[in-house]
Amino acid sequence: GAVVSQHPSRVICKSGTSVKIECRSLDFQATTMFWYRQFPKQSLMLMATSNEGSKATYEQGVEKDKFLINHASLTLSTLTVTSAHPEDSSFYICSAKESSYEQYFGPGTRLTVT
């Protein structure tokens, strides 16, 4: 079956630094990747939609200059949280899809900003 991996699974960084999260589709070509964020006791919130080779489309309220998304290949998308602050601490999960409606989610990355 289709597998999506994320790296790292957990990361702790200091306030003001940047952190990069990778999302990979391991056995299929992901034409579209999604990035979600989940705060405690909240649903997964879509942050952005990324199509390979194109600029990401960000949801309302998501700062595109703070959350840099790169989808340079059909198997890799990266989310870089720039100048991270404690309020950015959250659970970030990506998903990837081929042309069908099915999305395959990564296992998530727990970011803690101290």
Partner 1 sequence: QKEVEQDPGPLSVPEGAIVSLNCTYSNSAFQYFMWYRQYSRKGPELLMYTYSSGNKEDGRFTSQVDKSSKYISLFIRDSQPSDSATYLCAMSALRVWEGADGLTFGKGTHLIIQP
Positions in the binding site for partner 1 (CB under 8 A): 1, 6, 9, 34, 36, 38-46, 49, 59, 91, 93, 101-110
Minimal distance, residue 1 CB to partner 1, in Å: 6
With respect to partner 1, which residue has the nearer C-beta, 83 or 110?
110
With respect to partner 1, which residue has the nearer C-beta, 38 or 70?
38
Residues, the chain:
114
CB neighbours of 39 closer than 8 A, spacing ≥ 6? 45, 90, 91
Report angle CA 78, 81, 87 to the nearest 5 degrees: 140
Minimal distance, residue 89 CB to partner 1, in Å: 10
